[in-house]
Amino acid sequence: MISVFGLPLNRAREILASAGIEATFEETRSKKGVDGGTDARVIRQIPLDEGHATLLYAVFRTEPIEANP
């Protein structure tokens, strides 16, 4: 199966769909959470069979926070 580990969620979805793989998406997050996250990335890919997979993703904050606006 094609690996989409670490890719942005939308790109991973496109790649798997073009390969004919149906995917289910599940979000995970830390207990404290991350405010202002905008970058959803695949952190685990679980192949179920040849045509199906589950992708676990997390939303990361990749833009710095201004200390003194």
The range of the structural domain enclosing residue 39 comes to 9-60
- Asked whether residue 19 is domain-assigned, the answer is yes
Find, among 45, 40, 41, 65, the residue nearest to 55 by Cα.
Answer: 45
Whether 67 maps to a domain, the answer reads no
Classify residue 3: in a domain, yes or no.
no
Please spell the DSSP secondary structure of 8-54, one letter per residue: BHHHHHHHHHHTT-EEEEEE---SS--TT--EEEEEEEEEEETTEEE
Examine residue 20 and state whether it is found in any structural domain, yes or no: yes
User: Any idea what the CATH number is for the domain that residue 28 is in?
Assistant: 3.30.10
Does a structural domain hold residue 69?
no
Q: What is the pTM of this model?
A: 0.80
More confident residue, 36 or 11: 11
Tokens of 56: 């676990």
2 domain-assigned: no
Give residue-wise pLDDT tens across range 35-47.
777 889 999 999 9
Residue 27 lies in a domain: yes
